[in-house]
Structure 1
Amino acid sequence: MLGASISKNSVLLGLFALVTAGVLAVTNVSTRDRIAEAERQAAERALYELVTADRVDNDMLSDTIATPAGMMADLGLTQPEPIYRARKNGKVIAVIVPAIAPDGYSGAIRLLVGVNRDGTVAGARALVHKETPGLGDKVDTNKSDWILGFNGKSLSDPAPERWAVKKDGGEFDQFTGATITPRAVTGQIKRVLQQVQAERNLLFEIPEQAEVNTPRNVGDKR
């Protein structure tokens, strides 16, 4: 009798474990799918903040190119990440480039920078940072509109030597009581523009012969 009872309990425990494992597996798959979809929607919103939906007719999240090896060092990346392309009628009108400014006050600042086909900034956002609340965190659009001041800027407006905060003789405002954060972001956005210009034909799918008579201004290199 004791042996039969133990055997029966073992079977019940085994069945319970199988059922529990099955429920957890289903829950995990369901949760994973919901998380993945939420992450996709958040990423899509971020892209459309930089290049508005009325400008494009493609799925930017799916239209990507891996960061060219020659760009990675200046972009602050340690491994290739996707560069997103915005198209209208099949033509690449803008690219959205990931970058990391390593020299923020409290550490690295992860950025996403949109660059139009004509070399102007479509928009920029600080995605991840640890900057000081009330000071350096003004790089975040939830705190201030400072980063919107890069919209429409290029390597010729202002001139390359003016791509700095005003304290350093440049064009862009610093924050009251905080210079390191805006200096880091300004410098990194400039480097993004330089790298996009250098790889323009590849990123915008422009045949080399179409660029023969086009003047190029890659600005100064750091």
Structure 2
Amino acid sequence: MAIKRSIIRNALGLGLFAIITAGIIAVTQAVTAERIAEQTRKAEAAALFDIIPERQHDNDLLSDTVTLPPSPLLGTGDIGHGWVARQNDQPVGVILPVMAPDGYSGNIRLLVGIGHDTQVLGVRVTSHRETPGLGDKIELRKSSWVRTFDGRSLGDPAPEQWTVAKNGGAFDQFTGATITPRAVVKAVKKALIYFDNHQGTLLSDTSNQ
């Protein structure tokens, strides 16, 4: 009987330990997820005004949004929103949240600004897990590579050249890293295609403020 009671006590102790450990892990994950989400929101807000500076629009860019249904071109499976920049009530451009699912280390989240003339206004990376010193050169603070998209469009370069130079494209890759820049180039091209397909809706004359 003593052995049986000892086994039961040990089993209960292990069960209680497992429950407490699972609870700690769940709380830690929830707190970490909230922090990551908040950091992403802050990065997005800063990037919006980096892509379309305040001098180039006179509306409240943060609240003037357009609903975006789930779309494989944007790499999203949920309803999202884009930000519309206006000058004198006329739309001058939109910033789309885009996800490249094929980065070297997973998803790469971007903001792609596109003007009413269909040219890229700017591209900024808001989150990624690419290799430090290699793939992280997609960040503006690490290199100026993302600025090579500025002024580009679906026709400049030609569609078949929307890839890295190693694959016959117009965009440089990084030394020792090709997958990361290739994924970003592909995602930006898809964003331009999405804009081309939905320009009328994205640049509506009616503000959502």
Question: Which interval holds the TM-score relative to the shorter structure?
Answer: 0.7 to 0.9
**Cα distance in structure 1, aligned partners of 2:41 and 2:100:** 24
Pair member with larger Rg: 1
Alignment of 1:121-200 (within 5 A): 121-200=120-199
TM-score by length of 2: 0.77
- How many Å apart are 1:59 and its aligned residue? 0.5
RMSD: 2.1
Amino acid at match of 1:116: G
Distance 1:138 1:198, change over 3 A: same
Secondary structure at the aligned position of 2:177 is classed as coil
Contact kept? 1:74, 1:191, Cα under 8 Å? yes
SS in 2 for 1:47: helix
1:75 CA drift (Å): 0.7
Is the CA contact 2:135–2:177 (under 8 Å) kept in the aligned structure 1?
yes
In the TM superposition, residue 43 of structure 1 has moved relative to its aligned partner by: 3.8
Partner of 1:51: 52
Q: How does 1:1-222 map to 2 (within 5 A)?
A: 43-69=44-70, 72-205=71-204
Kept in 1: contact 2:82–2:94 (CA 8 A)? yes
- Aligned partner of residue 200 in structure 1, secondary structure: helix
Unaligned stretches of 5+ residues in structure 1: 1-35, 208-222
Q: Secondary structure at the match of 1:73?
A: coil
Q: 1:177 to 1:43 in 2, by over 3 A?
A: closer
Q: Which runs of 4+ in 1 moved over 3 A?
A: 38-44
Q: Distance in 2 between matches of 1:191 and 1:66?
A: 18
1:126 aligns to what SS in structure 2?
strand
Deviation at 1:54, TM superposition (A): 0.8
1:82 Cα deviation (Å)? 1.2
| Higher relative contact order (Cα pairs below 8 Å, separated by 6+ residues) | 2
| TM superposition shift of 1:170 | 0.5
- Summarize the Cα distance change of 1:55–1:67 in structure 2 as closer, same or farther, 3 Å threshold: same
Preserved CA contact (<8 Å) 1:200 1:206: no
TM-score (norm 1): 0.73
The AA in structure 2 aligned to 1:63 is: D
Partners of 1:42 and 1:175 in 2: how far apart? 24
Q: Which whole-Å CA distance do the structure 2 matches of 1:206 and 1:163 have between them?
A: 31
